[in-house]
Amino acid sequence: MKNLSPVQPFQASMTATSHGTLTTLTVDTSLSAKDSIASGETSLLTNYVYREDGSYQLVYTVVSRDGQADHFAEDDGILPALFLSPRRQAWVSIVPYHPDKELEISLPVFQREQVDLPKGTRPFVGDFIGSTETASIFHAADWSDTKPDKLLVMHFEDDLLQKKSNLKLSLPGNNKVAITGSTIQLLAHVDDDRLHREIDAQGNELRRRSIAANGIYGLQILTLSFDGDSCLLAQHAGQLVIVKIDMAGNSEIINLIAFEDEFFNTWRPEPIGGDTLVTRFNCEFGNGWLTTRKNQLIELYYSKDAGGYRNLLNGEVLELPHDKLVISSLNRTAPGAYAVVLYPMAGDDDDVRQLLILNRTAPVTI
């Protein structure tokens, strides 16, 4: 296959702020932001860029930590799903045009000259959750504990994709999922308890335990293990908290900060190294992201009444040129650093024409 072609659909500008480097990308027509992922120490973004006639092209954008951006066009493909191979190379699953059927192919984003056109498979709609030493794994849940979750396991050898396996997990469904070494950790709520299971990449259950939930719903997994402490991010009694669970199943609540606004959604925490994770969220009054390290909150950016994003730990405001912004994605860059991709919320008669990418290093201390 041939490599991607460089394109230049954006006008770019960069601004240095006390919160990090802000890159602004603007198109003449409109765009639709899709996803981003780490690619070495850069961010790899996928976007649809629309033409005047209403057609669009899938464009990959590589943004470095200093804010520089390069763009590449996909010749034939839509519905991108970015993921990392076991050797941390950027790959993508896309659906090329076909008049009669919709099939997905998976291939490296760059350096395709040694790759033959892959055989298409039925598209898998789910989230990339990480890689083991030999496989890249996607997870799909039906938001119901009575319907089984599904896994797509992509098996690699010498950083080449060998095969794909679709697994249907045993009930309960609607699990939170994390990868620990070569195993996959599942956490589901069953009645008033939490069910913690460990499976291998073939879907075989290795261990399970029941943990008392004590009326607290775990929003996201920070760490989950049978062989050490586990930590869940949660809200409880007007506080943002971490629920720390020891190997025996005993729980301890660690208060992080008073936060009365209830989260509507949280996304899988992004590990950025050194036991540091960044989690994005939204709620009735805005959205934002928070960073935790070893059971401590080290920053919390929230858009409510901020004219941008206010770090609730020190009151400093990241001022941005739009009142309402959507967080499209968030990804690791270098150790201890990350990028947040945002775009202005469009009105009924407006198109999205701009992307904002904040490259930031998490604080070393609070």
The reply to whether 188 falls in a domain is yes
* Tens-digit pLDDT profile for residues 119-158: 999 999 999 999 999 999 999 998 888 899 999 999 999 8
Average pLDDT of the residues in 195-221:
95
Look at residue 74 in the predicted model and tell me its pLDDT: 97
* Tens-digit pLDDT profile for residues 310-341: 999 999 999 998 989 999 999 999 999 999 99
User: Among 295, 297, 210, 194, which Cα is nearest to 253's?
Assistant: 295
Look at residue 142 in the predicted model and tell me its pLDDT: 87
Q: Dihedral of CA 41/160/277/15: which sign?
A: positive
Q: 134: domain range?
A: 124-260
Look at residue 266 in the predicted model and tell me its pLDDT: 98
The reply to whether 325 falls in a domain is no
Look at residue 365 in the predicted model and tell me its pLDDT: 73
Has residue 169 got a pLDDT over 60?
A: yes
Q: How remote is the C-alpha of 346 from its chain's centroid?
A: 22
How many domains are there within the chain? 1
pLDDT band at 193 (very low <50, low <70, confident <90, very high): very high
For residue 41, give both structure tokens. 């120490």
Q: Dihedral of CA 220/109/117/10: which sign?
A: positive
pLDDT band at 347 (very low <50, low <70, confident <90, very high): confident
Rounded to whole angstroms, the Cα distance separating 346 from 325 reads 9
Average pLDDT of the residues in 218-245:
97
Average pLDDT of the residues in 84-109:
95
If one compares 366 and 45, the residue with the highest pLDDT of the two is 45
Has residue 179 got a pLDDT over 90?
A: yes
If one compares 66 and 159, the residue with the highest pLDDT of the two is 66
The reply to whether 289 falls in a domain is no
The reply to whether 177 falls in a domain is yes
Has residue 349 got a pLDDT over 80?
A: no
The reply to whether 15 falls in a domain is no
pTM equals 0.96
Q: How remote is the C-alpha of 187 from its chain's centroid?
A: 18
- Output phi, psi for 82, to 5 deg: -75, 145
Rounded to whole angstroms, the Cα distance separating 220 from 334 reads 23
The reply to whether 134 falls in a domain is yes
Average pLDDT of the residues in 71-86:
96
pLDDT band at 348 (very low <50, low <70, confident <90, very high): low
The reply to whether 272 falls in a domain is no
Has residue 94 got a pLDDT over 80?
A: yes
Mean pLDDT of the chain: 95
Whether 289 contacts 301, CB under 8 Å: yes
What percent of the chain shows pLDDT beyond 70? 99
The reply to whether 68 falls in a domain is no
